[in-house]
Amino acid sequence: MSETIKDKLVIKKVTLAHINQYEELLNYVFQVTKRMLREYGYEEGEFNRSKQPILRNAEVLGWFTENDRLISSLSIYPFLVNIHGTEYEMAGLTGVGTYPEFSNMGLMNDLIKMGLEKMREAKQYISYLFPYSISYYRKKGWEIMSDRMTFTLKDTQVPKYHPVSGHVERKKVSDPSVITIYQQFAKITHGSLIRNQFEWTEYWRWENEEERTAAVYFDTNNNPLGYLFYWVENDVFHIKEMVYITQDARHGLWNFVGAHGSMIEEIRGTKYMNEPLAFNLDDSQIVETIEPYYMARIVDVKGFLSAYPWDDTIEPFHFVVSDPIAEWNNGIFGIRPSTHQAFTADITREPEGKAVKIDIQTLSTLFMSYKSPAYLHRLGRIQTDEVTLRMLEKLIPTEQPYFSDYF
């Protein structure tokens, strides 16, 4: 029965002509109500209009009925990310949904396969997504790449005042100083998204930025070096994000939080690195919760490895990769030092040196440095000899990804 129905459906690009259907599908799948939109600060029709740039700039694919009704879709945003100091074109996968009466027909599997082909054509060698189901996307080749940590401090546990040379000013969250700080931060921070106007719009899409404030730290030369987004409500100081370039800026921002001591009873915040806050506190008995946040997938193994910033002490070896959907990633990928440029490698389809057997999910989390080669080897997700494993430990940096965006 389901095959008969599927035979009458067609895959094609979703355009501005379908924007009302696109919004209706996503609102149904993700349970977005008019009340929610009002709470996020959207006026009547504004949310619909805000989606138009997505359909203009993104690759949006969908299944349609004979009557041109959109019943299933996915969206691919074109982004840039910093991976260990190298900028990669990144495909942000979102808007993945199907009406329930058309489920279990393999529609989304077909869309994802076509989406991966589109990503490869666009040279988007890595893809990020926020998973509604980690197990589902693992089956499609994505793996966890970053964490989100939430913490709660009592007002008495805020770091003690630390003398700094600069000062903090309160600004709008869209202030140019905020943009400048994040641009500097993204250039030196692995995993982070390079934010332009579109990316900042997406960053605030599900937040009412009019109710948020930026505290910006400036040094003695009035250079902006750190910010935090916050709001105070019901005696609680909420921190959405804290970004800093120097430790002086970090101290200055925490001094600003501490200055609210007479107004608040506790601080609740979010961090996007697996770096416990407790270590930096005098009173470290705080509540911290770590949960998986975003997932990543290498779209094209050869393209990704060719652009990767390799250590110049690399010894030849090869990956034997398995991929459940992207057949071009299956097989051998030999890696040997480049003969013409430092910190690069020549990627072949021949076995160079010893083998490393690995699936696309593990390869993705490995090169995002979310988990170490030794840890993945202990889990049985990497199969190789001890010498090659130690080389992988040296080749892949230990800095874990930072990713605080949502799309």
**pLDDT of 233 higher than 50:** yes
The pLDDT tens digits for 341-390 are 777 899 999 999 999 999 999 999 999 999 999 999 999 999 999 999 99
pLDDT reported for residue 26 = 87
Nearest by Cα to 90 from 364, 334, 399: 364
- Is the Cβ–Cβ distance between 181 and 137 less than 8 Å? no
Q: Which tokens belong to 308?
A: 């990767």
**pLDDT of 395 higher than 90:** yes
DSSP 40: T
Query: Model pTM greater than 0.75?
Result: yes
Q: Which tokens belong to 183?
A: 């641009």
The pLDDT tens digits for 183-228 are 999 999 999 999 999 999 999 988 878 899 999 999 999 999 999 9
Positive or negative, the CA dihedral 143, 289, 184, 398 is negative
- Is the Cβ–Cβ distance between 321 and 293 less than 8 Å? no
Structural domains in the chain?
2-124 (3.40.630.30), 149-292 (3.40.630.30), 295-395 (3.30.1050.10)
Q: What percent of the chain has pLDDT over 90?
A: 78
Length, in residues, of the chain = 407
SS3 51: coil
CA 334/CA 9 separation, integer angstroms: 41
